[in-house]
Amino acid sequence: MPPAPALRNPLILRRVDWGGPMDLVIQWAPPSSLSFAASWIAPAGSAFDPPGREGTSLALGRLLSAGTLHRDKRALARDLDRLAAAISVDVDWESVDVEVSGPASAWRELVALLSEVIREPALRPEELRRVCREGQEALLRESTEPGPRAERVFLETVFPRGHPYHRNPLGTPRSLGRLRPETVQRFHERHYTPRGSLLVVTTDRTEAELLPVIRKMFGDWEGPPPPPPLPLPPPDHRERDPVYAPLEGTSQVEVIVGGASPPRAHPDYPALFLADEVLGGRPLLSRLFQKVRERDALAYSTGSELEALRWSGIFTAEAGTSPSTAGRVAAILRDEIRRLAEERIPRDELERIRESFLGSIPLSLETAVAAHGLATTVAAYDLPLDFHVTWPARIRSLSPPEIREAVASHWWPPGGPIVVASGPPKGAWKGTVGPSGP
């Protein structure tokens, strides 16, 4: 007998032993949802690209939507249109996430489609050439636009050579020019394997309905073991002067202040998460938005981001500004991080930010696809299956001293965070931010 609707809580996941070659995590779709979503997640990110063939993992991810051994690109597009479905592929340094979503009534076809796209991509040479051209164009944009250029220089400054995050997931012009179908095929055979991977499903179907279809589509899949752990050189915490990457033909300066941060599983992550919300992660309410943009009108855009992955993390405070105000903006960004490390957040400010964030959580339960994002986070980072039930209480329990101590420990190393900027060439950077302070 299926569980009563009241017990179908999309915030509590189930890890199911289905006898197959990969882990299976199931999430109840939100009540009244008419959609279905499923993701396959595996350690097949850019950190595993073969030496000299950087960009392989991203190229393969883009090829998944370009046809399979049984359907060419047009046939695959027609079937997705017919099902009112979508396939998305996200490749980062650590993993690949292939997601299929569509109407709940088409769930069987969607599971079959996900299996086919993952296991039997066509990898046609002409499509690989197209994907490599797109990669070359993306590299060109990255090298000529202040925002992407500053981000790339920032990562290369924080993480030393040999660290997976130092590597550009796009590859290099040379590596993309050398990419061949056999290289992509070998990467697929080695890394698109069920062992060590996850299947995450958000559905209103019971396990009795779902498991026979999953066994049919994935039960016979075999493959090599997952890749071994990679070496992780420590991030660079040396005291250093600001790094400026000049670009011809630009008029805006992108300023980034930040550094390395702990991985997602670190016990200080909740405090750092809330610190980021206070700093610049919460639109309209955050310190950076209020001070840099609203009060002083110094930036076109500003905010902060905390990206905590499995191996490490990255925190940044960013702003797009003019050459005449870039030095002042960099000093403000840096000073706001310092304040978080040295001063307690006023309780009224903390409560305002905290309740704004907690109030946004129900929005993630309006559709199956949105709720699915919560499920993939829990599964990918091996969090407790009821993580999103206990997360609000953990956020509410954080005190200003806990947040200050976490920031002081991780975001304010000796010399302070790293400052990187990119924009017009020599003479445009008005004012500096030294390593000892603004």
Q: Give the E-state strand segments of 20-127 in sequence order.
A: 23-28, 35-42, 86-91, 96-103
Q: Name the helix (H) or strand (E) containing 320.
A: strand 313-321
| Cβ atoms < 10 Å from Cβ of 432 | 14
pLDDT of 414: 82
Q: Are 329 and 255 in contact (CB under 8 A)?
A: yes
Q: Sorting pLDDT into bands at 50, 70 and 90, what band is 429? A: low
Is residue 346 over pLDDT 60? yes
- Per residue in 157-180, pLDDT tens? 999 998 999 999 999 999 999 999
Contacts of 81 (CB under 8 A, 6+ apart): none
Choose which CATH entry (3.30.830.10, 3.40.309.10, 3.40.1160.10, 3.40.50.720) describes domain 5-218.
3.30.830.10
Which residue has tokens 């953990």? 394
- Per residue in 86-104, pLDDT tens? 999 999 999 999 999 999 9
Q: Where in the chain is the domain with CATH 3.30.830.10?
A: 5-218, 243-423
For residues 144-165, b (16+ Cβ closer than 10 Å) or e, as one string? ebbbbbbbbbbbbbbbeeebbb
3-state secondary structure of 247: coil
What radius of gyration, in Å, describes the C-alpha atoms of the chain? Answer: 23
Q: Which two tokens stand for residue 178?
A: 């050398």
If one looks up domain 243-423 in CATH, what number appears?
Answer: 3.30.830.10
In this prediction the pTM is: 0.92
Handedness of CA 286, 409, 332, 418 (dihedral sign): negative
- Per residue in 188-227, pLDDT tens? 999 999 999 999 999 999 999 999 999 999 999 999 999 9
